[in-house]
Structure 1
Amino acid sequence: MPYTRHLFSPARCALYPAALALWLLLSGCEPARQQVLPDWQNGDLVVLEDSLQPGADFQFNHELAKLFAGYLHAKLTVIPADVAHAPEMLAQHRAHLAAIGFRSNSASPGLVYAPSYQTVAEQLVFNNAHDAPADIAGILELKIAVVSGSAQETLLQEIKRKQPQLHWESRSGVGVDDLLDEVANSQLDVTFANQQQFGAAKNFHENLGIAKFAIATPSQLAWAFAPDSDARLREQATQFFADISKDGRLHGLVDRFYGFNERLAPLDAAAFLEQVNSTLPRYRALFKEAAHWSGLDWKLIAALAYQESHWNPLATSFTVCAA
């Protein structure tokens, strides 16, 4: 009891707030602890994926990551991350790599890249209801938005070095397809998208157009690692991409997720677009459920279903199979 009285004496209690403040200050000065990753050589591969942006890009990279995990005989653990925060998360060693499409032909001090898996043209997209921009100078006064940290924002940062007046809105928590929808609905003047992203959106928005002038060199899309990541894992990734390029698996994946852009018959486009607003809403939830179970983009499934049956559940094939 005497000890207790001494511990809570008025003089000592007066010191506690100051001591608490000093403790909080010291705690704040302590450097953030880095994540201790499991050893990928022991069968645990941790990967960042941009699952905040559902669609063909995410699903393509997810299938590619599953292939890579199988190549390493490892279990795949996925951590959701948007492209803007992926470099910071890699620096904190929260994942072995980011299975996200970065513009690898633009140097980044915080990242090193795997071999490029796809080369895509970057395009300036506008609404055909307005005049097509003749050059970059023609968009300086327009409302522009791109996905934060995306290949398109990296591209704009390159352009800004030559056009300092260029400004844009950097959006988080949205996908390129969302911004293309905004351009189609005249909520945004222009955005930037690669040829695959534009091709998918064009199937649903006939009023989207692309500028005719060259924007920049095409993006060489690639996964990213932290500079201090395990060099042996990077070597494995290099060999993996060489193998799947040689045996055709990479081409097969690209065709699976993006080939439908070329296969949708041009003569069907007008009728298809008419039904996007009238018929598609009734089946959208079913297409999204099918996408969840198949790993395919729901828009890809919808486009192929249109080719098969024009979204008519009573349609039959020549072999009398129900749609």
Structure 2
Amino acid sequence: MGLNLRWLWLAVAIVSLPVHGKENRLARIQERGELVVVTRNAPTTYYEGRDGLTGFEYDMVNAFARHLGVKARFVIKDNLAEMLPLLDKGEVDLAAAGLTRTAERKNRYRASRSYQSVTQLVVCRRGGKQPKGIKGLVGIRLAVPAHTSYAELLGKLKKSYPDLRWQEDPELSTEGLLIKVWQKKLDCTVADSNIVDINRRYYPELTVAFKLSRPQPLAWLMPPDANRLVNAVNKWMKEFLKSQEYETLWEKYYGYIEVFDYVDIKAYQRRIRQRLPKYIAWFKQAALNYNFDWTYLASISYQESHWNPRARSPTGVRGIMMLTLTTAKEVGVKSRLDPKQSIFGGARYLDKLRKRLPASIKEPDRDWITLAAYNVGMGHIWDARKLTRKLGKNPDVWGD
């Protein structure tokens, strides 16, 4: 009996010891002050923007790292074939790259709660093959990236459609294969709906043939030993998805994708080639003079006039920056139809509006509210701020 009690106390003591092995990955992250994350360079995840590194996944990961009190370090790989082995070896703490939470991945890794839903789409090109369903994929040039949820789904579909054939590319990403379809080097590929929505802005000839799947959850993946880490991620994500910060991120990266107008986008691309070069030097100089990003000024001008220096509205605003007569006089513009005067005058007016805003409004909200003032006038901005306060929200936050 005494021997048994000794063994019992020994077992309790062992169980009670602090965990410092592979199991306590979260503790190691906090000890070293670094969260190591593998991702890929893509418009939906991580990329170099005009103000530095950015991306939906990049911003979400950094928000979680701040919550833990550590810094995020990103390891960039080209495709899943290079990413997943890092999880297998435990060399990274998590993968954040728009990854679908499939049954196979749930069995192999620890997966977070879902933060976004996507649908797998068959994507082809205008003027090319346009399959109407899975049977229509038989006999066409179809390729998907290797080790992806697309390949996993096609493998399941092949049981019902044995003649279905496709190539699994070990090197190209989803975006790379979309480009090959656009270049007519492939008939079709498969891509998640969020990737298609963004890339059609660059390659408007891409078309959606049909939906290949039902909505599927995206999640972060973690190594099998990441029990405490996945619990921390899920607890944080539950609150983050309800926050203003998440709403702002969603609006920033996906707020514009609901409407796709092929004719309008083609016209925009044509004007970038034919009209913008005439005025780009003035946009850049005016932006430098008044501390704006030149693309900010050029975007306002395109929205106002489509870069047409002789544009005119029924309300009387005119020119490439569509200035009112009163505003033109205020900023020293003698001819609203002179594109150089109009661009510099518009930049000067934007700068005056920005300076009138309270110092409590920080970027990027300051740019958004300045833009709204340019469009509707500062008087409406003051009214909107009063109304925002009455509703119990923050008048310094554009999203409120």
TM-score with structure 2 setting the length: 0.59
The equivalences for 1:82-97 within 5 A come to: 82-97=79-94
In the superposition, relative to structure 1, how do residues 46 and 189 fare at CA in structure 2: closer, same or farther (>3 Å)?
A: same
Shift in Å at residue 226 of structure 1? 1.4
Q: How does 1:244-259 map to 2 (within 5 A)?
A: 244-259=240-255
In 2 relative to 1, CA 149–162 (structure 1 residues): closer, same or farther, beyond 3 Å?
same
- Asked whether the equivalents of residues 112 and 219 of structure 2 are also in contact (C-alpha less than 8 Å), the reply is yes
- Counterpart secondary structure, 2:204: coil
Q: For residues 167 and 55 of structure 1, do their structure 2 counterparts lie closer, same or farther at Cα, with a shift above 3 Å needed?
A: same
Structure 1, residues 121-165: CA drift from partner, whole Å, max 9, x if none?
221111221352121121121111222333333332332343343
Counterparts of 1:302 and 1:168, CA distance in 2: 43
Q: Which moved more, 1:253-262 or 1:157-166?
A: 157-166
Is the contact made by 2:102 and 2:149 (CA closer than 8 Å) also made in structure 1? no
Tell me if 1:78 matches 2:67.
no
On the 8 A contact 1:123/1:194 being kept in 2, the answer is: yes
| Structure 1 residue 205: Cα displacement | 3.1
Aligned to 2:224: 227
The structure having more radius of gyration, on CA atoms, is: 2
Determine if the alignment matches structure 1 residue 56 to structure 2 residue 81.
no
Specify the alignment match of 2:346 in structure 1. Answer: 321
Unpaired runs of at least 5, structure 1: 1-33, 284-298
Does the C-alpha gap of structure 1 residues 162 and 265 become closer, same or farther in structure 2, counting only changes over 3 Å?
closer
List per-residue Cα deviations over 1:150-209 (Å, max 9, x = no partner).
333333233234334333222244332332222222111001122222222322333322
CA contact (8 A) 2:144 2:174 kept: yes
Residues 285-305 of structure 1, C-alpha deviations (whole Å, 9 max, x = no match): xxxxxxxxxxxxxx9x99888
* 1:98 paired to 2:123: no
Displacement, 1:112?
2.0
Shift of 1:317: 5.2
Residues 93-130 of structure 1 deviation map (CA, whole Å, 9 limit, x = unaligned): 10111112211043323222111110012211112213
Looking at structure 2, the residues matched to 180 and 100 of structure 1 have their Cα atoms a distance apart, in angstroms, of 17
Task: Please say if residues 205 and 273 of structure 1, whose CA atoms lie closer than 8 Å, have aligned partners that are also in contact.
Answer: no
User: Structure 1 residue aligned with 2:111, among 110, 113, 119?
Assistant: 113
Native 8 Å contact 1:103 1:154 kept in 2:
no
Does the CA-based 8 Å contact 2:304-2:321 persist in structure 1?
Answer: no
What pairs with 1:254-265 in structure 2 (closer than 5 Å)?
254-262=250-258
Structure 2 CA distance for partners of 1:93 and 1:105, relative to 1, 3 Å: closer
Pair 46,267 (structure 1): closer, same or farther in 2 beyond 3 Å: same
Equivalent of residue 177 in structure 2, options 165, 176, 179: 179
* Preserved CA contact (<8 Å) 1:151 1:219: no
8 A Cα contact 1:144 1:188, kept in partner: yes
CA distance in 1, matches of 2:248, 2:234: 19
| Residue-by-residue CA offset, 1:221-249 (whole Å, 9 max, x unaligned) | 111011122x1111110011101112243
Counterpart contact for 2:44–2:98, Cα < 8 Å: no
Question: Which residue is 1:39 aligned to?
Answer: 28
AA in 1 matched with 2:248 = G
- CA distance in 2 between counterparts of 1:50 and 1:265 reads 28
> What secondary structure sits across from 2:45 in the alignment?
helix
Aligned partner letter, 2:173:
G
Change (3 A) 1:63 1:281: farther
Counterpart CA distance in 1 for 2:159 and 2:276 is 43
For the residue of structure 2 that corresponds to 1:124, the secondary structure is: strand
Alignment RMSD: 3.6
Distance between the aligned counterparts of 1:175 and 1:255, measured in 2?
Answer: 25
SS at match of 1:256: helix
Q: Measured at CA, do residues 255 and 207 of structure 1 come closer, stay the same or move farther in structure 2, by a change above 3 Å?
A: same
Relative to structure 1, the CA distance from residue 85 to residue 311 in structure 2 (aligned partners, 3 Å threshold; closer, same or farther) is farther
1:248–1:226 distance in 2 versus 1, CA, 3 Å? same
Deviation at 1:267, TM superposition (A): 6.7
Q: Paired residue for 2:194?
A: 196
Q: What is the one-letter code of the residue matched to 2:321?
A: T
The SS at the match of 1:62 is helix
Unpaired segments ≥5 residues, structure 2:
1-21, 47-54, 281-294, 310-318, 328-344, 351-400
The percentage of aligned residue pairs carrying the same residue is: 26
Corresponding residue of 2:148: 150
Aligned residues: 272
Q: Secondary structure, in 3 states, of the residue corresponding to 2:64? A: helix
Q: Residues 113 and 204 (structure 1 numbering): CA distance in 2 closer, same or farther, change over 3 Å? A: same
* d(CA) in 2 for partners of 1:131, 1:171: 20
